């Protein structure tokens, strides 16, 4: 899978914030694919492994066929973390390892789901948006918690959702994927609208599951890989 190199990663936090504002101007929150045309969707998630003074980020990229949700490919990557933890700048810690995992996919997915935020970000460039600009394909943020904005609780039924509003702008949707469970925060990353992002995410959810299957399986794979590495470290 080909991925563009838009910028260096060895930046200071101030330089990273400036870059986010520049990249934000390149975002296109419009649909380039209809949900019915999506045949292959990938999910990415990551975790951290700390040993002595070094922190390693591990990411999984898993692609699934739609509508069957059968797994097509699973890829893993691990990289040392060099960027500090700064709220709002997690892309500079996590996107490089997402890229390393996605680059290994033999068949490019139509859409990528990211266990993170997209447009619903203080500078409107969360990890899903940042990654989408590198991939130049539709990306969607699927976060487990709110980063910005306010909302009304959606009805307690699968598929119900309400707008996520920040500073007077609708930046995403708060989606009920599992009754009796907290909602999922869905926001467009790049080359997709909020409405289409919600529809694709719901098509990726199995009955009774909170997370869409691509990111749920990516999370499982990352946890298994980190456990394997911990055992090797003793």
Question: What's the average pLDDT block by block, 10 residues per block, for the chain (234 residues)?
Answer: 91 97 97 98 94 87 98 96 94 97 97 98 98 98 97 97 98 97 98 98 96 98 90 75
Residue whose token pair is 């563009």 = 4
**Does 3.30.2170.10 match the CATH number of domain 27-233?**
yes
* Listed residue (3, 47, 45, 33) closest to 213, CA to CA: 45
Percent helix, percent strand, percent coil in the chain, to nearest 5:
30, 25, 45
Specify whether the CB–CB gap between 122 and 96 falls below 8 A.
Answer: no
Give yes or no for a cis peptide into 67 (omega within 30° of 0).
yes
Dist. CA 196–CA 35, nearest whole Å: 7
Mention every residue, 6+ apart, whose C-beta is less than 8 A from residue 223: 47
Token couple for 54: 């070094």
DSSP state of 150: B
Q: Looking at residue 234, what is its pLDDT?
A: 65
Strands 40-51 and 111-114: what pairing?
parallel
pTM of the model: 0.95
H-state helical runs in the chain: 13-24, 91-102, 127-135, 194-203, 213-233
DSSP state of 153: P
Dist. CA 20–CA 78, nearest whole Å: 24
pLDDT in tens, 60-115: 999 999 999 999 999 999 999 999 999 999 999 999 999 999 999 999 999 999 99
Number of H helices, E strands in the chain: 5, 8
Helix axes 13-24, 127-135, angle to 10 degrees: 60
């Amino acid at each position: 899978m080909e991925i563009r190199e838009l910028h260096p990663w060895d930046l200071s936090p101030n330089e990273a914030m400036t870059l986010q504002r520049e990249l934000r101007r390149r975002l296109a929150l419009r649909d380039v694919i209809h949900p019915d045309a999506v045949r292959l969707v990938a999910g990415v998630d990551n975790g951290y492994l700390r040993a002595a003074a070094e922190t390693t980020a591990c990411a999984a990229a898993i692609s699934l066929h739609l509508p069957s949700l059968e797994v097509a490919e699973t890829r893993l990557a691990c990289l040392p973390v060099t960027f500090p933890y700064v709220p709002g700048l997690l892309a500079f810690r996590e996107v490089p390892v997402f890229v390393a995992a996605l680059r290994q996919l033999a068949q490019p997915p139509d859409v990528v789901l990211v266990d993170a935020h997209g447009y619903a970000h203080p500078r409107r460039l969360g990890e899903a948006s940042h990654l989408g600009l590198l991939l130049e394909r539709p990306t969607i943020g699927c976060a487990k918690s709110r980063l910005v904005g306010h909302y009304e609780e959606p009805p307690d039924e699968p598929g119900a959702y309400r707008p996520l509003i920040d500073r007077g702008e609708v930046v995403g949707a708060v989606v009920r994927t599992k009754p009796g469970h907290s909602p999922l925060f869905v926001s467009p990353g790049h080359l997709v609208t909020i409405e289409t992002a919600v529809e694709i995410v719901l098509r990726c959810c199995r009955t009774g599951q909170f997370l869409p299957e691509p990111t749920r399986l990516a999370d499982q794979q990352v946890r298994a890989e980190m456990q394997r590495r911990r055992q090797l470290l003793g």
